[in-house]
A and B are shown apart, each in its own frame.
Chain A
Amino acid sequence: MERDNRMDDKLDELRDTPGPEEGQDPAGGRAKRDGSASRDLYLNVRVLVGMMAVFVLLFTFVARVIVVSGPSMESTLWERDLIFVWALGYEPRQGDIVVLTQEHYQEDSIIKRVIATGGQRVDIDYNTGTVYVDGQALQEDYINEPMRLPGWGEGVNHVEVPEGCIFVMGDNRNHSADSRHPDIGIVDTRCVIGRGLAVLFPFSHWQGL
């Protein structure tokens, strides 16, 4: 019982403590300022935390920014270019530049151009440096230099692309490990992270893709 009384006294003391919303005396004014500063700090932290959460969720589900590593897409994309990649609801189409991952080849993602999609046939003639899709020679103004036979041999060069898959190649054909490489081959569209839409940085490289 005595303990209850002691606790009641403490509770009354707590309840009677002037709060930031009520205090009018100097001590109450200080409490009000403290409370206001604490609230402002809290609101600022909350905004920052919220922004971080929104950014990461956008990067995960909608779009992301990646840095190009390697020369395989020169001269369309250069080492350290910063590119904007759209992921939400994307279905690969012929000619698009895509970011994809083939974990059995390397853990990091790679960036290539879609040459053919499911149901199309790809034939590569290394003698003339020509790529045929469904028997039609592709007009490839974007490649860096005439295509030569890769170091690993002909690899995958006469193939019908299964449904749900794509055939990809780098624009720098002679320095690109892509669908021609036996370790990469035809790529499942579920391995595609998104489509490169634009080079954001450096500004001198800015362009739509």
Chain B
Amino acid sequence: MKNSVSGRTSWLISVGAAALAAALLRRWQLASAFEPDTGLATPGAQASVILMCLLVMAGAWLILLAMGRAGGPDPARRWDMVFVTRGDPVFPALAVGAAVLAALAVPVLFVVGVDQFQLYQMAREAGVQPPSNNGMLTLATAAGALLAALGLLQMGRDGLRPGRRGKGGFSAALPGAAGCVWLMESFRAHAANPVQWDYAPQLIAIVVGMGFYMDFAGMSAGAPRPRRLLWMAGMTVILSAPPLATVLAELSARTAAGSSLLAAETGDALLLLSQLLAAAGVLWRLPPYLERLDRSGPDRSGGLEEASIEEETTDE
């Protein structure tokens, strides 16, 4: 167990530090890199440049970390068993936590979508120019969040109850597919916004999150890419931090103004936190497994025995 801690620790520390730094830089950028009266981005603002550099360097560093691990795309290996976690409650706890957050986003987005739809209908009936948003994509995002919650719940369950080969984490494809609707809604909400810094970080975080979920699902669907999954999980955590800082700042502004927190930003915050937790679960589980592959060589049982017994004994 001691040997397996080092790989996990280096990933968690690297990713956690980068995510924290990215969130703080985003707060600094919000405070300093936009003109107060127009909200337009100041060209060459220090905070924007440093944030961009940090994200690029973090991506490069995680590539180096991932390349240092074993685990080529060997479909015959039992990659679906990587996330069997008897004796290690962290992964299922994070997966279930992610499911709960996604589920909490459902009623929020549903209420927001219904409000938007009613406003649109009222404008049409009054014969005035209706708002560009008729609420349908927000309602679809709520449905997608429900799908994501079910998929994440199944991921946590699979982690606790190993099934037959191939059963494992295909449910991870559900939040990945649901991310498509969330992505469309996030783009639509900012389609007329000329300030890309306002929304591009969130779009990129959603895209990388979708890639992470799809690679996770591939582990049990005969298309494993473990090193890329590691990178995707790390980048999902890091890239989720700046938009999370943005929506939290918007929500605190709403609170200060006495506005309701039943807003699209609340849904975004919950979904970003959800994918962040799921990715953290993979970062907790996958590096020690790959490190064991480095030590044990081409054992196609998936390292199940070693992994589980090792962790079971620490539990007793």
Residues of A participating in the B interface, judged by any CB pair closer than 8 Å: 3-4, 7-8, 11, 14-15, 17, 19-22, 31, 34-36, 38-39, 41-43, 45-46, 48-50, 52-53, 56-57, 59-61, 64, 100-101, 103, 107-109, 188, 190-193
Contacts and interface: CB of A to CB of B under 8 A. Distances in A.
A52 B162 CA distance: 32
B78 A39 contact: no
Contacts of A11: 304-305, 308-309
B177 A49 contact: yes
B135 interface: no
6 contacts: A4-B313, A11-B309, A42-B218, A43-B223, A49-B180, A109-B191
B183 A52 contact: yes
Nearest to A1: B316
A42 B217 CA distance: 8
A191 B35 CA distance: 13
Interface in B185-234: 187, 191-196, 199-200, 203-204, 207, 210-211, 214, 217-218, 221-223
Nearest to B173: A45
Contact of A188 (B40, B207, B312, B316): B40
Given A38-B221, A190-B40, A56 B164 contact: no
Count chain A CB atoms within 10 A of each CB in B164, B204, B313 and give the residue with the most: B164
B194 A101 contact: yes
Nearest to A192: B194
A25 to B, nearest CB: 15
Nearest to A39: B222
A-B CB proximity, top 5 nearest: A42-B221, A39-B222, A109-B192, A19-B165, A53-B207
A4 B87 CA distance: 12
A176 to B, nearest CB: 16
B20 interface: no
A107 B192 contact: yes
B183 A53 contact: yes
Nearest to B166: A35
Contact of A49 (B210, B222, B309): B210
Given A4-B312, A42-B221, A64-B191, 8 more contacts: A15-B305, A42-B223, A45-B173, A46-B214, A53-B207, A61-B196, A188-B40, A190-B194
Given A56-B184, A60-B196, A191-B40, A46 B218 contact: yes
Identify the interface centre among B41, B76, B200, B222: most chain A CB within 10 Å of its CB: B222
Interface string B73-108: 001101001000010000000000000000000000
Contacts of B7: none
Nearest to A42: B221
Contacts of B162: 14
